[in-house]
Structure 1
């Protein structure tokens, strides 16, 4: 039952330490929270059998992106990336000196307790991270995610806008907010685009918007 404790007690302890830092309450003004915007590149869409091949992230503090803390990691894949290279552009040769996933996740836990996580279509990123933590650490940390895709959907619905089929893809959202659109499927570039979108969404929200409001808009 407790076999994992004998394998990686240090990693499990990192989860416990991370979870000890309280998250902001739902009534906290959204503009006062600290956020970590991230993106993953993957070998597929099944979190139970596919793998993370790169991670990019940037923190947002006091409504400013901290570019000095931007990070991009290539991740060791236990199997060949195969045809998924068509999408993310990473080949097996690119990953031969890549980082171990557990090391990258440990750094994330140490640096960003108490942060709210943000991603575009976060359900996929959250699922892969939760399973990765469970596999390497024995437990997934308490991570509160906001989804810029759902926030944008809620915003457009409130405006009465008609949505085209691809209207909620990240490039289309960025263009709608008159923000620069970079090449897709690079984890750090997509995380940066998501951060710009999130800040624009905050700016267009009412002045008293709370974290709880954003959680409702993210569903």
Structure 2
């Protein structure tokens, strides 16, 4: 009956500790919350069979991007990065001194409990992180994600804007907000771009918008 308890990975307790720290209540002013914008680069789009090649993140506190805490890590997947290198530019030869995925995922849990995670089209990032945590830690943490793509769609719909093809992609969204557009498919640059977009979306929102309001727009 209790045999499975003895087989939990040592990192399982880190997930439990993360889950014990709640994000702010839904009625908390959105501008008062802490966020972590992040992006992953991958070997493919199927979370159950593909792997994380890199991760970049940028914290947001007091409506400010904390560049001193921005991080970027490369990982060596179990298989070759293959043709995915065409998109993210990371080749097998670049991964000789790659970080351990478990170490970086542990850092996320330890440093950013209570944060709301922000990503552009977060469904993919969330799925890969959940599976990686499940495999390495024995349990996926309860990470609350905010999706800047969905928030942008909600904003444009409210304005009655007719959207063209690819209008919601990160570069197009940044350009629409008159924000700098950097090269795509670099995890840290995309995380930074996502952070810029989120702050601009927040600035253009109602002055008293709550975290719950944003989560509804994000869903």
TM-score, normalising length from structure 2? 0.97
1:216 is displaced (CA, Å) by: 0.6
Q: Which runs of 5+ in 2 are unaligned?
A: none
Tell me if 1:134 matches 2:134.
Answer: yes
The answer to whether the Cα contact below 8 Å between 2:36 and 2:60 also exists between their aligned partners in 1 is: yes
The answer to whether the Cα contact below 8 Å between 2:183 and 2:189 also exists between their aligned partners in 1 is: yes
Q: Which residue of 2 aligns with 1:154?
A: 154
Q: Which residue of 2 aligns with 1:6?
A: 7
Q: Which residue of 2 aligns with 1:85?
A: 85
- Give SS of 2:195's match: helix
Q: Which residue of 1 aligns with 2:46?
A: 46
1:95 is displaced (CA, Å) by: 1.0
Q: Partners of 1:80 and 1:169 in 2: how far apart? A: 28
Q: Partners of 2:165 and 2:209 in 1: how far apart? A: 29
Q: Partners of 1:20 and 1:212 in 2: how far apart? A: 20
Tell me if 1:69 matches 2:69.
Answer: yes
Q: Partners of 1:4 and 1:125 in 2: how far apart? A: 29
Q: Partners of 1:191 and 1:22 in 2: how far apart? A: 23
Q: Partners of 1:4 and 1:58 in 2: how far apart? A: 35
Matches within 5 A, 1:1-219: 3=4, 5-6=6-7, 8-9=9-10, 11-219=11-219
Q: Which runs of 5+ in 1 are unaligned?
A: none
The answer to whether the Cα contact below 8 Å between 1:77 and 1:95 also exists between their aligned partners in 2 is: no
Count of aligned residue pairs for this structure pair: 218
1:96 is displaced (CA, Å) by: 1.8
RMSD, aligned CA: 1.1
* Mean Cα deviation higher: 122-131 or 16-25: 16-25
157 and 128 in structure 1: CA distance in 2 versus 1, 3 angstrom threshold? same
Q: Partners of 2:97 and 2:6 in 1: how far apart? A: 29
The answer to whether the Cα contact below 8 Å between 2:8 and 2:138 also exists between their aligned partners in 1 is: no
